[in-house]
Amino acid sequence: MESSQAFDIEFRNVVKRYGSVQAVNGLSFKVRRGAFHSFLGSSGCGKTTTLRMIAGFEQPSEGEVLLAGKPVAGVPAHQRPVNMVFQHYALFPHLTVAENIAYGLRYRTPRPDRAAQRRMADEALEMVRLSGFGQRKPHELSGGQQQRVALARALVNKPTVLLLDEPLAALDRKLRKEMQSELLRLQREVGITFVLVTHDQEEALSMSDSISIMKDGLIIQTATPEALYETPASRYVADFIGESNLFGGTVRRLDGGRVVLGTAGGLELSSPQTPTGPALAPQAEGCIAVRPELVGIAAADAELPREVRLRGRVEDRIYLGNLTEYRVRTDAFGIVCVRVPRHGDEGLGAFAHGAPVQVGWDQSSGLAMAL
């Protein structure tokens, strides 16, 4: 049994209510020391409330929150070994960059003297690659530079946990990519636990060691990015992480480790069951998820060596740079999404809107799971 000292954050059956509304519903989880963990979910799922309870801005209605193995019930935010970077960086416009970074040092016990504060602010600026920017005002910086200043201000106190509340949402796509790399570099260098809250799945997948998917105040699944994508526990996770073709139906029978699903259109699909979700039983409702990149496409009169084949017509062709996405309307399942590498699409002849085609996949490419 692992020591609680191996974890910087632990929730034990935590509930948070706002009047009659239950924002968080019995959360229990642990975040390992030095990890980059993300909470991912749609608006209103409880992820920001969870972050605010770690920070101390909210107190749980029930349950227990531990930081570095110690209960923190009733401990105010400024006394917790935690700092937060907000979506809107909340820099003081009348202070210089160095003064913004050093602001929190004034409230440390014992408080460093002015020379030590300047030195620590300079070290924090060097950490985020902004050496020499200390005398500028926030309005003289770009959005990415302001975000780095907010990070330096959060890190200067050397917290046990750094909380990131959608910190990249205000940046354009190119700058957001750059800052993702910067955050990963910083996390590796300082070695402290980072916890990110986001609704951007690409951001969470590219940065995290582990991710918790939240829905209705509950954690649906916690796993590595690879496991979430390749072995989602339920239809919700498969639909939320990346994109999946989801074929619903009733379980006809179990055949070893495979699930045979009867669909409304009368077809039978057979796929392995996901190892991470609840077991399916005969007559239960379920679905089979197939990722678009595992679906093939060919002209209606061409060979398509796949176990499952459907005829349809191209409804949309979407250029995605390195990929081409086809959305094909079929009689059996409605829209089926196919993603073809750019070089592969050129070989296919780039099917036009309305073109008759066939799409297909192998049974082993799907994954059966509960709804």
pLDDT above 80: residue 193: yes
In this model, does residue 10 exceed pLDDT 90?
yes
Q: Is the model's pLDDT at 195 over the cut of 50?
A: yes
Residue 4: what pLDDT? 56
Q: Over 50: is that where the pLDDT of 350 sits?
A: yes
User: What does the alpha-carbon distance between residue 232 and residue 290 come to, in Å, rounded to a whole number?
Assistant: 11
For the chain, give every residue range classified as CATH 2.40.50.100.
235-371
Q: Which CATH class is domain 235-371?
A: mainly beta
CATH 3.40.50.300 residue ranges for the chain = 4-229
pLDDT recorded at residue 346: 58
Which residue, among 195, 214, 203, has the nearest Cα to 46 in the 3D structure?
214
Task: Answer whether residue 347 shows pLDDT above 80.
Answer: no
- Predicted confidence at residue 2, as pLDDT, reads 56
Tokens describing residue 177: 């990519």
Instruction: Indicate whether 1 pLDDT > 50.
Output: no
For all residues of the chain together, what is the average pLDDT? Answer: 90
Q: And the tokens for 200?
A: 């951007």
Q: How many angstroms separate the CA atoms of 262 and 252, rounded?
A: 6
Residues 6 or more apart whose Cβ sits within 8 Å of residue 188: none
Instruction: Tell whether the model's pLDDT for residue 344 goes beyond 70.
Output: no
Give me the helices (H) in the chain, please.
47-55, 97-102, 114-127, 143-155, 173-190, 201-207, 225-230, 235-240, 342-348
Judge contact between 154 and 85, C-beta under 8 A. Answer: yes
Instruction: Give percent above pLDDT 70 in the chain.
Output: 97
CB of 251 closer than 8 Å to CB of 302? no
Query: With 80 as the cut, is the pLDDT of residue 258 above it?
Result: yes
**SS3 assignment, position 353:** coil
CA 179 to CA 166: how far, in whole Å? Answer: 12
0.75 exceeded by pTM: yes
CA angle at residue 337 from 335 to 341, to 5 degrees? 155
Fold (CATH) for 4-229: Rossmann fold (3.40.50)
* pLDDT score, position 202: 87
Q: pLDDT tens-digit profile of 316-339?
A: 999 888 899 999 999 989 999 999
The whole-angstrom separation of Cα 243 and Cα 238 is: 7
How far apart CA 178 and CA 204 sit, in angstroms, is 14
What's the mean pLDDT in 210-237? 95
For residue 353, which phi and psi values (nearest 5 degrees)? -55, 130
Q: What is the mean pLDDT of residues 143-147?
A: 86
- Closest Cα partner for 128 from 108, 112, 105, 146? 146
